[in-house]
Amino acid sequence: MPDIHSTRRGRSTRRGLTAASLLITGALALSGCAGGGSGAGGEDGEEVTLNLAFWGNDVRADLYDQALAVFTEENPNITVNTSFLAFPEFWEKRQIEATSGGLPDVMQFDYSYMRQYSENGLLLDLEPYLGEQIATDGYSDQILDIGVVDDTTYGIATSTNAWGLFQNPVLLEQIGVEPYEGGTSWEDYTDWVTEASEAAAAAGQPLFGGTDWTYRIQNFELQLRADGRNLFTDDGEPDFDEDDLREFWEQGESLRDGASAIPGQRLEEIYPLSGFDAAQTTTELTWDNFGAGYLGNLGEGYTELLLTAPPTSEEGSQDLYLKPSMLHTIAETTDHPEESALLVDFLVNSPEAAEIFGTNRGLPASETQLEGLGLEGLDAQIQDYEESIEDRLGDAPPVPVVGYGAIEEEFRTTGLDLGLGVITVDEAVDRFFSEMDVILDN
């Protein structure tokens, strides 16, 4: 009998051990999940790691690296991990993180997604940190209001930008064409692009005068605004119909012949670069803060670009406007709200960051940053440009509807398909409207 007894005890000991080891494993797993939770409140110099995500390219990534080097020198207890993607992919990634609760602590943020993210409780209320970690003295109320949704501040604008037309002086000289003068009718600009492409072909250069500008929703918006409308009304209803859009896309017809402007096939190949980035087009309509990125991608041999007013369909109309080019927000789920706020403050307020970024993010929104910044070269050009178009600047459109980002992207891809000749304008209009209905109703 004793041997049985001892065997049993042995077994129960073993069972106990198994249970204990299971418990320990479980506990370890759980604590592993919660690992990020420890170390909150690093005021006392505790080591803290923050994640920062932004959209952009290598040029901007390099600027962030430089700026963060200064930040971590000032705050040696904070480590910042960065990640960046191109704009559409950036938002895809955020959507997935938003649902899994894994949003980065600090995000570069776009105006068009503010409503969606704040309404769903994904962004941290910044109110408690304003005037504490985040200095607000450099900001006018108007600029601070940009980050406010339903009376709560969720974001701080880094900078503002306006729609503009970049021209590549080096390429223009190569093909012997005078720059586009700016501010004329859209037909004039289309003719100019066609002539520049012809001149390039005659000079034996694989260049084009521009891109079919009808693939950008902002150009459509400009034409609507010249007509006293916006893309969407205050109630979030589209302020245009099928005929408006058909008429708009038809204006690009002549540029889609494969010779008058850069062919769609080329654009597909060089994506995510644009024709202008790749030095294959001489002009591009886009936000005016893209200049620094262009210079970086164009590389050596480029120190300046021309920045001109876009065409207009109604002279004297206020079709342009200033918008926040980007904001900084903090995820509601962050374990380190205070450190995150410190980082946001550094990015939007510090003169060092301003100096490093120049106008890569747009013209600094904070007066202190702007004043401390001796703008020169391209940056000064952008400032001058925004002053020069003052007469054309109207009220900003209403806060973008939920899903605006997806609508903008749908517009772009539909426009690209038009350029490839795989759909007709009528099909494009049908497709866009049916997609927009789905997105707005989503």
Pick the binder of other proteins from 149, 393, 416, 440 (CB under 8 A): 416
When binding is defined by CB under 8 A, the residue of 52, 78, 98, 353 that contacts other proteins is 98
Question: Is residue 242 part of the contact set for other proteins (CB under 8 A)?
Answer: no
Nearer to other proteins, 347 or 429 (CB): 429
Which among 96-104, 287-295, 305-313, 366-374 is the span making contact with other proteins, rule CB under 8 A?
96-104
Alpha carbons 408 and 389: distance in angstroms, whole number: 24
Residue among 142 and 265 whose Cβ is closer to other proteins = 265
**In the bound complex, what is the minimum distance in angstroms from residue 432's beta carbon to other proteins?**
12
> Comparing C-alpha atoms, which of 221, 416, 203, 427 is closest to residue 318?
221
Which residues in 112-131 contact other proteins (CB under 8 A)? Answer: 116, 119-120
> Residue from 23, 27, 96, 202 that binds other proteins (CB under 8 A)?
96
Least Cα distance to 78 among 26, 125, 43 occurs for 43
Applying CB under 8 A, among 99, 152, 233, 424 the residue interacting with other proteins is 99
Q: Which of 79/99 has CB closer to other proteins? A: 99
Q: Closest approach of Cβ 426 to other proteins, in Å?
A: 12
Nearer CB in complex with other proteins: 38/100? 100
Q: Is 260 left (phi over 0), alpha (psi -120 to 50) or beta?
A: alpha
How many Å apart are CA 74 and CA 78, to the nearest integer? 9
- Residue 422 interacts with other proteins (CB under 8 A): yes or no: yes
How many residues touch other proteins (CB under 8 A)? 41
- Rounded-to-integer distance, Cα 431 and Cα 245, Å: 12
Q: How far apart are CA 115 and CA 404, in angstroms?
A: 10
Instruction: Please report whether residue 269 would count as binding other proteins according to CB under 8 A.
Output: yes
For residue 99, the minimal CB distance to other proteins (Å) is: 5
413 interacts with other proteins by CB under 8 A:
yes
Is 3 among the residues that bind other proteins (CB under 8 A)? yes
Residue selected from 216, 225, 266, 361 as contacting other proteins according to rule CB under 8 A: 266
Q: How far is the CB of 95 from other proteins (least distance, A)?
A: 6
- The yes or no reply on residue 29 touching other proteins (CB under 8 A) is no
Task: Pick the piece of the chain touching other proteins (CB under 8 A) from 184-192, 250-258, 386-394, 431-439.
Answer: 431-439
CB 210 within 8 A of CB 198: no
Decide if residue 442 touches other proteins (CB under 8 A).
yes
Question: Residues near 215 by Cβ (< 8 Å), separated by ≥ 6?
Answer: 252, 411, 412, 414, 415, 416, 418, 419
**Is residue 431 within the footprint of other proteins (CB under 8 A)?**
yes
Please pick, from the candidates 65, 74, 89, 188, the single residue that binds other proteins as defined by CB under 8 A. 89
With contacts defined by CB under 8 A, name the span among 3-11, 137-145, 293-301, 315-323 that binds other proteins. Answer: 3-11
Question: Whole-angstrom Cα distance, residue 307 to residue 34?
Answer: 51
The rounded distance, in Å, linking the Cα atoms of 87 and 293 is 13
Q: 222, 240 in Cβ contact below 8 A?
A: no
Of the candidate residues 88, 169, 236, 394, the single one contacting other proteins (CB under 8 A): 88
Instruction: For residue 4, state whether it binds other proteins (rule: CB under 8 A).
Output: yes
Q: Is 417 in the site for other proteins (CB under 8 A)?
A: yes
Helices 242-250 and 425-440, packing angle to 10 deg:
140
The region of 41-49, 85-93, 130-138, 234-242 touching other proteins under the rule CB under 8 A is 85-93
For binding to other proteins (CB under 8 A), which residues are involved?
A: 3-4, 7, 18, 86, 88-89, 91-92, 95-96, 98-99, 116, 119-120, 264-269, 271-272, 403, 406, 409, 413, 416-417, 420-423, 427, 431, 434, 438-439, 441-442
